Structure 1
Amino acid sequence: MRADERFFGVDNDFRSPFSRDRDRIIHSGSFRKLEYKTQVFLNHEGDFFRTRLTHSIEVSQIARSISNNLGLVEALAESIALAHDLGHTPFGHIGGDTLDICLKKDGYTNGFEHNFQSFRVVSSLEKRYKAFDGLNLSFATLEGILKHSYPYKKAFLPAIIDEQFNLSTHPSIEAMVVDRADEIAYISHDIDDGINSGLITFDDLKESELVSLILKKVHDEGIDKQNDEMFRYRFSSHLINHLVYSLLDYSRDKVDNTVVLSATIDAKESIPIGFDKELETQIKKLKKLLFQKLYQSKDITRKMYAGKQAIKGLYSALMEDENMLPNYYKELLHVRKKHRVVADYIASMSDRYAIKLYNELYGRI
């Protein structure tokens, strides 16, 4: 059997190590802030749309189900999934891209990368213990947070981090599961949110073989009103089930669940978690279609442009006058470079706080 996490327990703690990791992540301030961080739609645009928080919960649910069926350690996959987006900035990927540009313009060549930022959040930025920084998570959880998304970007990492976590190897199988669970979750819920927002319709996506297949499954249930909430729900349910079962069918005989919970597969080797070649192609085509029809739509583009201006403005203002930083971040200036501290503070903000502070400094956006 695969190494049982209970064998690594700590005296006087009723939880397993990875269950303890999960609890520490859930109770962190960074996890709570995900409620007001953009997935695709800004939080204040409606209470139905997904946020980074609901996305992380959906990823966790899918990753747990897959791990359970493959005989993996469910609590490890859950911990990695819940923490995988802690490093995201306000305003989704555009916020991270903008912060990356700001840092590189200031000569900080490593820039900003959200997976490494998630790792930094749980290993140094969260402060829950007097004696040390971070949440004191297990090695396998930290490795999974850092390396769950392939390819692993060594350029962003200090040499000591690469030495400790070895980017020349894949992470645990559980981390690979989280990466594909992330993909399954955001494809399904971005379609759901996009349809609900009125920015796209199912007709816009019919050229996707995968979407056509799932639409047929919904119609076979006798549900025909595509604008109906029930139709969207059934579509998402069928899409997730189809992708999860397909992943299990493809991966089950490729997964070695007898090895210990550390990286054992060379990064040059193929990942054992995935889909058959035909479905991989269908997924790539659907993601490209979503990019063209949804993510590049006028409404989304305008909101993301406003978010980009907010990030640039906040970075410029805080670099100009560090006295606007909260005391915790001002103290960090004694041990870290100023642009890194400013970037960490901005990355920690929720969308609504970033907008509030920008409006306070520059006027409304």
Structure 2
Amino acid sequence: MLDRHQRQHNPFGNQGDKPGDSRKSFQIDRDRILYSSAFRRLAHITQVVTSQEGHVFHNRLTHSLKVAQVARRLAERLVAEQPDVAEKIGGVDPDVVESAALAHDLGHPPFGHTAEEQLDACAVEAGLADGFEGNAQSFRILTRLAIHRIDYYGLNLTKATLNAVLKYPWLRSPDPTSKKHRKYSIYTLDQPAFDFARSQANDAQSIEASIMDFADDITYSVHDLEDFYLAGLIPLELLATDGDELDRFILEWLRELPNNRVAKVVKADTLRFQRFLNATYNLKGQYRPGSFEQKAQIKRISSQLIQTYVQSVKLSRKYGDRGYLRYNRQREEELKFLQRIVWAYVISNPRMATQRYGQKRIIKTLFDIYLGAIGDRDLSFIPARFVREFLEIEENIANPTEMNQEKTRMAVDIVAGLSEAEAVIQYRRLTGISQDSFFDSWNN
């Protein structure tokens, strides 16, 4: 029988942890993730818009904390209501679910999806067929990059927690038209850790991964919308009451959709979407923008929506679109609708295009510089925390192709692990835009 408590670097479950430690294995996993520097870095990583824009938006840290809270409560409810089904489909432990939720965004690079696309292009051009993907980077951080003990790399987590982090439990497909080419949770170089975490050979999510995945969708659908409504960037009242505005929004959405089931739903359910908005967000003229009353009302609405979506799923013995979760299709479509509103009014806003251009330039420049330093063996230029691994790669890997892949992946790791402030500072220093002080460089 599979031992879900077995650790990556210790085959004897909980043994090897601190003597007298009363915590259970999965509680230790949660705490290790929470106290890792990789988790702390998320406070300086954009969710959608940076905090420097003059409004208190969610960042990746606050988002992850909220996903963890929603995921844990959902897991607790499902275990309490359907204990037999939970056991039958592999077990649902709230600590494992919460750990996976805390860890799910660790791999996000500075500047979010903009940098993710740029790093992927850089890595592929440099010879890494599996490029860069934030989910795969999260798994790599947990199993290799995070620092916990001197005698191994990674956080030494249990099988169950590592498996729960795998939203897309497969390697990258070489077919560019495949979903598995765009989304995947494992790099080829990390295959041994993947094999350790997985007991099954198929592509199915564990139930704990499915719960984490659904909690992520709930959280960013509701809280991103809340952020940008309060910042005055999304006209929810107008969408809820003005048929012309909603029709325009729907028409633009349909232009980007292939003629599939989603397009048919959008066409058929425009009226239902308007009723949903009108019942949920019809605040026009009721509250002054920025007032106590407006903020209190939007908090009530967000809380109510989260509870609705948490209550909308049950465990299923049959694997489907949401893994082992049986969901309410109407609620699922509402989540997609809320996500699309944020995309239409914020993420795809042309005013963000120049910002994205600059961010891509920073990422590409830093990648090229670090890759060059690694190729030149310039140890004074490679960040100190990577020098030990660099020397081990040169000492232990004889195959030139494999060594080049490891070194290229290290350049990706260095750039992906920067905070946004660090990326900007390093770019300015290394391109001569800002000379800074000798002591600034010395301290870093």
The TM-score with structure 1 as length reference comes to: 0.84
Report the Cα offset of residue 232 of structure 1. 4.5
Task: Please give the secondary structure, in 1, of the residue aligned with 2:166.
Answer: helix
For residue 45 of structure 2, the aligned residue among 31, 37, 49 is 37
Bigger mean CA offset, 90-99 vs 277-286: 277-286
Aligned residues: 348
1:300 equivalent in alignment to 2:352: yes
User: Displacement, 1:83?
Assistant: 0.7
Measured after TM superposition, the shift of residue 359 of structure 1 is: 1.6
**Equivalence for 1:259:** none
Residue 70 of structure 1 contacts residue 248 of structure 1 at CA under 8 Å; is this kept in 2? no
Larger mean CA deviation between 306-315 and 272-281 belongs to 272-281
The alpha-carbon distance between structure 1 residues 176 and 21, as it changes in their structure 2 partners (threshold 3 A), is same
Q: Distance in 1 between matches of 2:231 and 2:304?
A: 24
What secondary structure does 2:313 align onto?
Answer: helix
Matched, 1:313 2:365: yes
Q: 1:53 aligns with which of 45, 58, 61?
A: 61
Name the stretch that deviates more: 139-148 or 81-90.
Answer: 139-148
Unpaired runs of 5+ in structure 1? 257-264
| 1:140-151 alignment runs, 5 A limit | 140-147=160-167
Match of 2:93 in 1: 73
1:132 aligns with 2:189: no
Counterparts of 1:225-244 in structure 2, within 5 Å, are 225=287, 227-228=289-290, 230-244=293-307
Q: Does 1:328 align with 2:423?
A: no
Could you tell me which amino acid in structure 2 is paired with residue 294 of structure 1?
V
- 1:216 equivalent to 2:216? Answer no
* Worse overlay, 349-358 or 184-193: 184-193
Contact 1:17–1:138 (CA under 8 A) maintained in structure 2: yes
Q: How does 1:1-365 map to 2 (within 5 A)?
A: 12-46=20-54, 48-71=56-79, 72-147=92-167, 153=184, 156-158=187-189, 159-161=191-193, 163-164=195-196, 165=198, 166=200, 168-203=202-237, 205-206=239-240, 207=246, 209=272, 213=276, 216-217=279-280, 224-225=286-287, 227-228=289-290, 230-251=293-314, 254-255=315-316, 271-273=323-325, 275-322=327-374, 323=378, 324-334=381-391, 335=393, 337-362=406-431, 363=433
- Describe the shift of the 1:233–1:307 C-alpha distance in structure 2 as closer, same or farther (beyond 3 A): farther
Question: Cα 1:329–1:211, aligned 2, differ >3 Å: closer, same or farther?
Answer: farther
Q: What CA distance in whole angstroms lies between the structure 2 residues aligned with 1:136 and 1:346?
A: 23
Q: C-alpha separation between the residues in 2 aligned to 1:178 and 1:96?
A: 21
Cα distance in 1 for partners of 2:32, 2:58 equals: 23
294-303 vs 51-60, which moves further:
294-303
The verdict on how the C-alpha distance between 1:111 and 1:204 changes in structure 2, with shifts beyond 3 A counting, is farther
SS at match of 2:325: coil
CA distance in 1, matches of 2:134, 2:121: 13
Q: Computing the radius of gyration over CA atoms, which structure comes out larger, 1 or 2?
A: 2
Please report the RMSD computed on the Cα atoms of aligned residues, expressed in angstroms.
Answer: 3.1
Between the aligned partners of 1:238 and 1:195, the Cα distance in structure 2 is 12
CA distance in 1, matches of 2:201, 2:274: 35
CA contact (8 A) 1:43 1:351 kept: no
Report the Cα distance in structure 2 between the residues aligned to 1:270 and 1:184, rounded to whole angstroms: 13
Do the aligned residues in 1 keep the contact of 2:367 with 2:411 (CA within 8 Å)? yes
Secondary structure, counterpart of 1:272 in structure 2: strand
Secondary structure of 1:273 counterpart: strand
Q: Which protein, 1 or 2, shows the higher relative CO under an 8 Å CA cutoff with sep ≥ 6?
A: 1
Retained in 2: the 8 A contact 1:116–1:157? no
Deviations 1:297-349 (A, max 9, x none): 13333322221111011111222234322122233223163221111011111
**2: CA distance, partners of 1:112 / 1:4:** 28
Aligned to 1:260: none
Distance 1:215 1:83 in 2: 36
For 1:283 and 1:244, the matched residues in 2 are separated by: 13
Moved more, 108-117 or 167-176: 167-176
Once residues 302 and 203 of structure 1 are traced to their aligned partners in structure 2, the CA distance between those partners, rounded to angstroms, is 29
Equivalent residue of 1:279, what SS? helix
Cα distance in 1 for partners of 2:201, 2:222 equals: 30
* Mapped partners of 1:106, 1:213: distance in 2: 48
Q: 1:275 to 1:224 in 2, by over 3 A?
A: farther
Moved more, 122-131 or 315-324: 315-324
Structure 2 residue matching 1:199: 3-state secondary structure: coil
Moved more, 195-204 or 181-190: 195-204
Question: 1:5-26, CA deviations, whole angstroms, 9 ceiling, x for partnerless residues?
Answer: 8xx7657321111111111111
* Percent pairwise identity: 28
**Contact residue 21 and residue 141 of structure 1 kept, 8 A:** yes
For residues 226-264 of structure 1, give each alpha carbon's deviation from its aligned partner in whole angstroms, at most 9, with x where no partner exists. Answer: 72354345335424533443443431xx346xxxxxxxx
* 1:86 to 1:80, Cα distance in 2 relative to 1, 3 A: same
C-alpha deviations, 1:164-216, integer Å up to 9, x for none?
42461433322211111111111112112222333322146433755753553
Distance of aligned partners of 1:345 and 1:356 in 2 relative to their CA distance in 1, 3 Å threshold: same
Contact 2:168 2:185 in 1 (8 A): no
Q: What letter is aligned with 1:298? A: P
Shift of 1:218: 5.9
- Return the alpha-carbon distance in structure 2 between the equivalents of residues 168 and 21 of structure 1: 25
